[in-house]
Amino acid sequence: MKFHWTSVAWSVVYFLLLLSLITPLTVITALFLLVPGVVLYSTLSKTSFIVHIVPVLVLLFLVFNSVLSNSLFILIPLYFLVPSVVMGHLYKKRASALRTVLFGAGTILLEFILLLLISTLFFDFNLVQTIEDVINSTASPFRDMAGSGLAPGLAWTEEMTRQLSSLTVRMIPFTMTVTSLAIAIVTHAVTRPTLSSMGQITPKMKPLRDWRLPRSLVWYYIIGLIVQMFAGEAARQGFLGTVLLNLMPLLQFGFIIQTAGFFFFLAYQRKWNLAIPILLTIALVFVRPLWLIGVFDIAFPLRDMITRSRR
């Protein structure tokens, strides 16, 4: 990095973002926690990176130890430091944007799994019980309102709470995967232009109109639908059901992305105003069957037919 004060400023930003972990703002700032670490690692030598990071971690250790009386909280910043280094290393090597995002998301996901495993084995952490406790405490006011007659139309029962807890627990793999991808994508979206403004060339992600998902995903989705239709209740509640419960939404999310890409491709070919594909993409949120366009776009050569029609 050419200017020393620039790296110091990023170190300060990193400290403030990590400090937000002990505030309610963490819901928002968690998406940006990798950005300063990635920028610093991408633009500094390894020695300089350590020189900038160590003071940040030491200050955080002192703050966490004094405010929370728990020095183990410093493990959370270390958790976010690992994917920062991975993505920063790939930016230095000028790896493709897709490879960088996937490796970053994969690292976060792997850390999620390891953290859950270590917490369960060595600290007697029970994620299932924790989720049930949170849902029970959240649903308690609704049960009280239903029982007091203040909201006669609200019929929240213990059984509904149990079902919601069970569904939340079974959807943990899906939640971890989507969260990992979201953090990696936001990190790339912020970091790439930042590095470019500093004079470091980093590959761009392909335009959304050029995104094409593998055709095999359609077959996975069809197989999943068939299994859901003909599997018995025991299978739907067992391991196979849990796999499908997480896999099918992920596939649908992929088809939504494919549909958005098709809208932008169509607009590019027809020279439409950019607002049109943007509005159509927003409509995907409210008109759910639209994502089936993505399925047909993968399964059939729709884009080739559009291209040929313009010749």
What would the pLDDT profile of 154-170 be if each residue is shown by its tens digit? 556 666 767 777 778 78
Which string of DSSP letters, residue by residue, matches 217-274? HHHHHHHHHHHHHH--HHHHHSHHHHHHHHHHHHHHHHHHHHHHHHHHHHHHHHT--T
Which string of DSSP letters, residue by residue, matches 273-287? -THHHHHHHHHHHH-
pLDDT interval class at 142 (50, 70, 90): low
pTM higher than 0.85, yes or no?
Answer: no
188, 100 in Cβ contact below 8 A? yes
pLDDT interval class at 190 (50, 70, 90): very high
31, 183 in Cβ contact below 8 A? yes
pLDDT at 146 over 70: no
CA pair distance 207, 274, nearest whole angstrom: 13
